[in-house]
Amino acid sequence: MASSNNTTSSIKIVDKCRVSPPPEQSTEVVSLPLTHFDLFWVRFHPVERVFFYKLHSPPSFFFEQVLPKLKTSLSLTLQHFLPLAGNLVWPSDSDKPFVQYNPGDGVSLLVAESDADFNHLLGFNSPREASETRCFVPELETLEYHAAAMSLQITLFPNSGFSIGISTHHAVVDGKSSTMFIKAWASICQSLEEGESQEESTTLVHELEPFFDRQVIKDPKNLGLIFLNNWSEAMAQMFPNDDEITKNKKSLKILPFEPKVKDSVRATFKLTRSDLEKVKKNVLSNWNNNVNNGLNDGDDEESTNTPPSTLSTFVLTCSYVTVCIAKAINGVYKERQKFGFAFTVDCRKRLNPPIPENYCGNCVWGHFVDAKAEDYVKENGVVLVAKGIYKETKKLGTEDILEGVEESAFDKYMDMAKEGIEIVGIAGSNRFGVYGIDFGWGKPEKVDIASIDRGVTMGLAENGDGNEGGVEVGLVLNNQVMDLFRTLFRQGLEHV
């Protein structure tokens, strides 16, 4: 069985408050429309991350020095990100929800203290109870017509460290935007720690200054309303007997998919540059061993049959980890043999014309990999899936990123679910640079994407140990599945 720490830990709520932008800087109502990129996620669960920082100081130092600077810098940061201090609302006379900030609005901040083993939470490879991370994640208030844009939690581990948990509504920001906010907050907090004045510390470098203008994203096909209708149809199909969920088409309540923490464990695995080179060598050397695997449809022969000169870290990581997950699930639950892989792509550079990199909102789109559902559990599954991911990523530079989505935005997912295909998803990115986020007391020791426990999802980040080119992969799996995954993951790297 996967090892886990069964020691009961407790968490004590120290303070619950609301942090608002400086009143003199936020005197007007700000309304922000949602684009079709936003509306696609309107019923999706929040994106939740936890940053763990070491701090070998007594609690008095934390409460007298650290916490006040975190609160002050949070307020100063929110003046740049006013929509994140507001709420998602859907008035009865509006055909679409939108974000609105009213003077006085603020972000819910929970301050807590935990007696959990801090070093245990920082561990790699060794699984721990999935429920443990939930203690450090703030709840995001989501009601029928009203939902918070963001909530935060700061948790002290006396004499060991502290964590910052963030929960953001996916219809308001994507992962890149929420990470930009955390980086901006850390930048301002670090300036305060270094003794700069509040006026000096509120200045942000260009890449951290958010760009909120929704006019840069065009929607000539009215995809926003199509996606809202898709959500209504999807709700009716998934919950046909639940009137509470399906009766109100203007509801902002998120999907009722609770975190899967019962009999589940969480672990983070590392793929070094050397590991990825091994996987790449194996994939490229076997590229043409199975040309008739369903990927070569005749119109893209070169991309499927001619080995590329190299493969990206993304392709190598996702193919290797997804196949290990599929084989582990299949090994425990023999009847589950069909799998798929879906990933999102940042579209900022891929729109015509491109939009600013510091655009704050959603600008990602999902893609399903064109590989047979049975390929994932085959002996050469990593090669087959890598070819599928490579083919899909290669198309991104040549095709309209949203071509045809008005006809099939949700259909693909629903069809795969009906076929009993287990879809492996992805959250985060090894390009976000989360391990460089320093509030003034050092860089994080560990960053967990808490929300991967709501499905079969891998959480990606760059290696936090300075191993350039490496990747961290976070997973939440059933106990037995995780045991087998660990074995497959290790053996696969030893034998390639």
Spatial separation of the C-alpha atoms in residues 248 and 340, rounded to whole Å: 32
Given a contact cutoff of 8 angstroms between Cβ atoms, the answer to whether 26 and 33 are in contact is no
Spatial separation of the C-alpha atoms in residues 101 and 85, rounded to whole Å: 7
Spatial separation of the C-alpha atoms in residues 339 and 375, rounded to whole Å: 8
Q: Is 368 left (phi over 0), alpha (psi -120 to 50) or beta?
A: beta
- Give the helix/strand (H/E) hosting 198: helix 198-201
Sign of torsion over alpha carbons 472, 478, 481, 486: positive
Measured from the Cβ of residue 230, the count of other Cβ atoms closer than 10 Å reads 21
Antiparallel, parallel or unpaired: β 364-368 and 264-271:
unpaired
Q: Is 377 helix (H, G, I), strand (E, B) or coil?
A: helix
Given a contact cutoff of 8 angstroms between Cβ atoms, the answer to whether 42 and 252 are in contact is yes
Q: How many CA atoms lie within 13 A of 117 on its CB side?
A: 10
- How big is the chain by its Cα radius of gyration, in Å? 23
* 3-class SS string, 422-437: EEEEEEECCCCCHHHC
Spatial separation of the C-alpha atoms in residues 328 and 485, rounded to whole Å: 5
C-alpha distances in Å from residue 380, one per residue of 181, 246, 310, 483: 41, 43, 19, 21
Burial degree of 479 (CB within 10 A; 0-12, 13-18, 19+): middle
Annotated active-site positions, please? 170, 438
- φ/ψ of residue 236, rounded to 5: -65, -35
Q: Is 374 helix (H, G, I), strand (E, B) or coil?
A: coil
